[in-house]
Structure 1
Amino acid sequence: MQTNVSVILPDEIKFQQKIPTIWLFHGLGDNGTGWKRKTNLEQIVSKYEVAVVMPNMGRSFYTNSIYGNNYWDYLVKELIPQMREYFPLSCKPEFNYLIGNSMGGYGALKLAFKYPDWFSKVAFLSPVTDLSVVPSIMPDYQSVFGKDGISDRKNDLRYMSQNADASSLERIQWYQATGNKDFMRKQSDSFNEFLTTKIHLNITYSIEEGKHDWDYWNSEIEKVFLWLSLKRK
C-alpha cells in the first residue's frame, strides 16, 4: 500500500557529507506527523545538524500484524534503506539514534535489541514495556498480536534483550523517561531495574512531573536532544 513519511532535514544539504539521523517513532493513535504537530520538534531540530525521520507505523506496535500489514518488515527492509537512498543519511551507528514514545518506545527498544549494531544512542519515553497492559488501551490488539500474542515471548522486550548480543547492547547509550504520574510508571520502573541489574545496561533514567501525554513528551524531547550531544549549527 502507499504510505507517507515525515522528514526534517538541515537547511543546507551537502550530498558528499552524510547526515546524522534520528529515527523518531510515534505512539498508539498517532502517526508520523504527531511529533511535528504536537511538540516544538521543528524549533529544536533547527539548532542541530541532524535529520529526523518519522515513519507512519499505524497501530502496529512495530510488528508484523497477524491480521494486517507487515510493519516490522517495512521498517527494517524498506523504510530505513529507502530513506538512505532518497537522502544522504549516515549509515554509521555512531551517527544513528532512536527515539520513541509509548508504543514507539516499544518499537525503539525492539529495533535496538534486534539490531544493536545499527545505533549508538536510544531514548524511550513513557514506553510500553509490558504487553499485558495492551488490551486495556487497544481494543483491537488481536488484529496485531492475535489471541495469545501479547503473552508470546517473541514479543516480550525482556526476552529480546536477553537474546541480543550483550556487548553490542552495552556499547549503546540509553535514556529512559517516565512521568511520575504515568499510568505505566510501575511497569517502567520494573523494566529499568531489569535492564540495569539483569542485562547490565547503563541507563540514564529521568522521572519528572508529568502524565502519559504530549505535555510531558513536549517537555522531555528537548532534554533528549541535549542528552544526544549533537553537533550544533
Structure 2
Amino acid sequence: MKTVFVETSNVRRFMSALSALEDRGAQEACLVVVDGLPGLGKTTTLKHWVAQNNCIYLRAKKEWTPSWFMTELLDSLRVHPPHSFQKKYTKVLEELAVRQTSAIMSRRSFGLVIDEADHVSSRAQILETIRDISDMIELPTILVGMGRVNDNLARFPQVSSRVSQKVRFEKATKDDVRLLIKQRCEVPVAADLVDFVLTVSQGFNREVLEAIANIERFAFRGDFDPNGSGIALRDMGGQVIMNDRRNNQPIIVPEVL
C-alpha cells in the first residue's frame, strides 16, 4: 500500500479550522477540539500535521496528573524534567516559547496536540494546567477525542470559553473513499468495487484501508487481468474484503453472475 497522505474532506475541515484559529479575535482563545468516532482518521491527520510542522504530540493517559503530563511534555521536547512542579512548569513555558518563536520566524504552524483527550476532559486540575500553558504563551492546543470532549468541557466555562474551533470528523463520503483507494492502492480498482467498499466500510477510514490491503493481496496473486479497467466486484467474488467492526466477522464479496 502506498504511504501517501490523502486529503479527505475531514482533513480539509481540520485545516480550515487551523486557518480560522490564526485569525481569532481573543488571543487566549487558542484551544481546538477535534472529535469523532474511532477509525475516521483523526490520529492519522493530527500526526501528519505534527510531523509536517515539527509540533508536539502527546497521548493522554487515564491516570495523568499535571506533573506527569508536564514530564511527558518535557520528554517530547527532549528536555530533562526537573523535580519540582514549579520548575517543570517554568521549563515547559520556556521551551515551548522558544519553539513557537522559531515557528513564527519560519512562517509555519506550531502547536500542542493531546490525543485521547477524553481521558482528561472531565478533570479540572489537569485541564487548568493545560489552559494555563496555552494561555501564557498563546499556544494553539488541540484536544482530540471520541465525542465526549465538548460535553465534558462544558462543565468548565473557564476552559470551554477558550475553545475557538470545533472540528467533528465524519464518515467518509463516496468521493473520500474513491480518493483513498485511488491514492493508496497499488492496483486499479473498478467503480463497482469502490461502491461496495463504501457500503460495507460504513465510511470508516480504518476499514477502507483494510479493504485496500485485501484487494492488493488478491491482486498480487495474479488472479485478475492487469490490462482491464481494474479489479471489479466479480473478480473478488467469494473473497474477504474486511472484518465487520460490529462483530469482527469477515465480510465476503458476493459472487456476481
Larger Rg: 2
What TM-score results when the alignment is normalised by the length of structure 2? 0.29
TM-score by length of 1: 0.31
Q: Which has the higher strand share?
A: 1
Which structure would you say has the larger RCO, counting Cα contacts within 8 Å and 6 or more residues apart? Answer: 2
